[in-house]
Amino acid sequence: MTDLLRIGNCSGFYGDRMSAMREMLDGGHLDVLTGDYLAELTMLILGRDTMKDPSLGYAKTFVRQLEDCLGTALERGVRIVSNAGGLNPAGLADKVREVARGLGLDAAVAHVEGDDVRALSFEGALTANAYLGGFGIAAALTGGADVVVTGRVTDASLVVGPAVARFGWAPTAYNELAGAAVAGHVLECGTQATGGNFSGFRSLRHDGTPLGFPLAELAADGSCVVTKHDGTGGAVTVDTVTAQLLYEVQSTRYLNPDVTVHLDSVRLDQAGPDRVSVSGVRGEAPPERLKVCVNELGGYRNSIELVLTGLDVEAKADWVREQLAPALTAETVHWSRVAAPPYDADTEEGASTLLRCTVMDPEPGPVGKAFTGAAVELALASYPGFTMTGPPAAPTPYGVYRPEYVDRDAVTHTVVHADGRREVVADPGAYAEVDPRLGLRPSPYPAPPDTLTRRVPLGTFVHARSGDKGGDANIGLWVVHDGSDLYEQRVTWLAKLASPRKLRELLPEAADLDIEVYVLPNLGGVNILVRGLLGRGVAASARFDPQAKGLGEWLRSRMVHVQEGLLT
């Protein structure tokens, strides 16, 4: 029988379904259960926690899950690997030991540290964490750990580490490491691989069953099958897996601390109900420098949301903006655009639209009472029907994320084993320099000329998944796998359509921004980067959709000309 590592996921973010760890442990056989709790925004939240209490800085929900599940995991031999340590992996490891003692359990708990690089004095940094690879996790597991908690490792490292421990891969086993990194990327966001946030949601079974969390059956050659436990909700299809593969990646090269993955080599095949095989993955040496997530306190923010109803909403908006102008002394003031409601709406809500004002400033004063009080004072002195969606709130601090890069010798990747022994993880022996132009869409795109066309939504046969990378927005587009004989022709059409110029036309908010398009023919689609759309990142964005989660769905709703022959 082929030696397989069955590795699952029970968390895609800090705040994910609390019952997922129990569901995954009880749902079927696993060797390793992972949990991803960190994101750029999460590091900022944890940083603010440590400002209040230096003993915190880790994901507290992970502790509550272990209180319920640690005994089951030990009894069944399931090892738990998580980046829930955040800014304080040593503190979390101590907390897990405390939980184990309280339950009368003997658990070997190790942690990985060294990612915290605030000592390198990044200007204004509240947090500064280098993205570490999976070999520290592998060393902890090889050393006998039942539970491994880390700080800021890459999301994929949670799978790469256990795979290295199981199969004994050398640091130069690039294809195998790349396969594990792809498996890790598919699993990292939990139910996004089983139908969550999926533009093809109408094809899923809707019977109230919660979406199942994914797992991978990983082989020694780095190939895997993505699946889920029997009886759980959602689905695992080529399209749901493609959706996650194209989520928040950039070019055709996916840079990890242990390996550079060639995303254009990935091949997906439906291997049975709720089973997708991932094969053909190629990799090369990793980048020479490590990426660092830096968060700084950017200042304070506040907002009000006004309801405009019925006729003359543009004039009503103009008047209230004029009335509030003298009170808007903040450094940044952003008013949302007003969309006129339909005429003759049969509900009051349908006859209404929203106007939002968001203000940001280095100091709390200009975004506090000076702002909200002026808005409240207009309640009986402004446009007809003046109302707010909620009472004004106090200013809240916000952070700004920026990526930095450091030399590897500035970071000491360290494993602290369950017995207290410290082991420094060696750096890779070779590095690769990636040409950023690899996979860029050529212009003009080589494709047959257009014939008679019809005007239809882009989403007629195209799926999308979008998200954020700091201030940049990422959109993956790919052709639906519906068994059509037109699939290859549709893939060519999509690659031809998706020029930066056309995308600026379809996304007017990006009209003045740099757009990069990378072609991924194996996945039947393209990956799009919209540079700077999100400003200084999610926590500092005044956009309606600060994480670009709905950007792909907006793009799918836009009308395009499609050749008649591709619509049959």
Query: Are residues 222 and 170 in contact, defined by beta-carbon separation less than 8 angstroms?
Result: no
pLDDT of 41: 82
pLDDT of 544: 83
Distance CA 521, CA 506 (A): 22
pLDDT of 365: 97
Helix residue spans in 121-209 (DSSP H): 135-142, 157-167, 174-187
Give the N- to C-terminal CA distance of the chain in Å, as an integer: 45
The contacts of residue 454 (CB under 8 Å, 6+ apart) are: 561, 562, 564, 567
Q: Is 89 exposed, middle or buried (0-12, 13-18, 19+ CB in 10 A)?
A: buried
Kindly tell me the sign of the dihedral angle through the C-alpha atoms of 340, 341, 342, 344: negative
One-letter amino acid for residue 72 of the chain: T
Provide the pairing of β-strand 214-219 with 267-272. Answer: unpaired
Q: What strands, in cross-sheet order, belong to the sheet with 267-272? A: 267-272, 275-279, 224-228, 214-219, 4-9, 32-35, 79-82, 147-150, 109-113, 414-416, 422-424
Query: Are residues 198 and 241 in contact, defined by beta-carbon separation less than 8 angstroms?
Result: no
pLDDT of 490: 97
**What counts of helices (H) and strands (E) characterise the chain?**
13, 26
Locate the DSSP E strands across 70-114: 79-82, 109-113
Distance of alpha carbon 221 from its chain centroid, rounded? Answer: 27
pLDDT of 2: 60
Q: Which of 302, 366, 310 is nearest to 338 (CA)?
A: 310
Lookup: tokens for 347 = 């509900």
Along the 568 residues of the chain, how does pLDDT read in single tens digits?
A: 369 999 999 999 999 999 999 999 999 999 999 999 998 889 988 988 898 899 999 999 999 999 999 999 999 999 999 999 999 999 999 999 999 999 999 999 999 999 999 999 898 899 999 999 999 999 999 999 999 999 999 999 999 999 999 999 999 999 999 999 999 999 999 999 999 999 999 999 999 999 999 999 999 999 999 999 999 999 999 999 999 999 989 899 999 999 999 999 999 999 999 999 999 999 999 999 999 999 998 999 999 999 999 999 999 999 999 999 999 999 999 999 998 999 999 999 999 999 999 999 999 999 999 999 999 999 999 999 999 999 999 999 888 899 999 999 999 999 999 999 999 999 999 999 999 889 999 999 999 888 889 999 999 999 999 999 889 999 999 999 999 999 999 999 999 999 999 999 999 999 999 999 999 999 999 999 999 999 887 777 778 888 999 999 999 999 999 999 999 7
What is the secondary structure of 429-446 as a DSSP string? Answer: S------TTTTBPPSS--
| Long-range Cβ pairs for the range 317-326 (8 Å, 24+) | 317/355, 319/382, 319/383, 320/355, 320/378, 320/382, 320/383, 320/386, 321/357, 323/378, 323/381, 323/382, 324/357, 324/374, 324/375, 324/378, 326/374
Distance CA 425, CA 153 (A): 13
Distance CA 564, CA 559 (A): 14
Distance CA 85, CA 93 (A): 8
Distance CA 474, CA 505 (A): 17
Distance of alpha carbon 188 from its chain centroid, rounded? Answer: 9
Distance CA 421, CA 90 (A): 13
pLDDT of 568: 78
Phi, psi of 302 (to 5 degrees): -160, 165
Provide the pairing of β-strand 79-82 with 32-35. Answer: parallel
Lookup: tokens for 209 = 């069953």
What is the secondary structure of 328-363 as a DSSP string? Answer: --SSEEEEPPP-PPPTT-SSTTTTEEEEEEEEEESS
What count of other Cβ atoms lies within 10 Å of the Cβ of residue 85?
Answer: 30
One-letter amino acid for residue 144 of the chain: G
The contacts of residue 441 (CB under 8 Å, 6+ apart) are: 495, 498, 499, 517, 518, 519, 526
Lookup: tokens for 377 = 């004072």
pLDDT of 540: 75
pLDDT of 307: 97
pLDDT of 470: 85
pLDDT of 1: 37
Beta bridge partner(s), residue 424: 414
Query: Are residues 159 and 137 in contact, defined by beta-carbon separation less than 8 angstroms?
Result: no
pLDDT of 39: 87
pLDDT of 98: 97
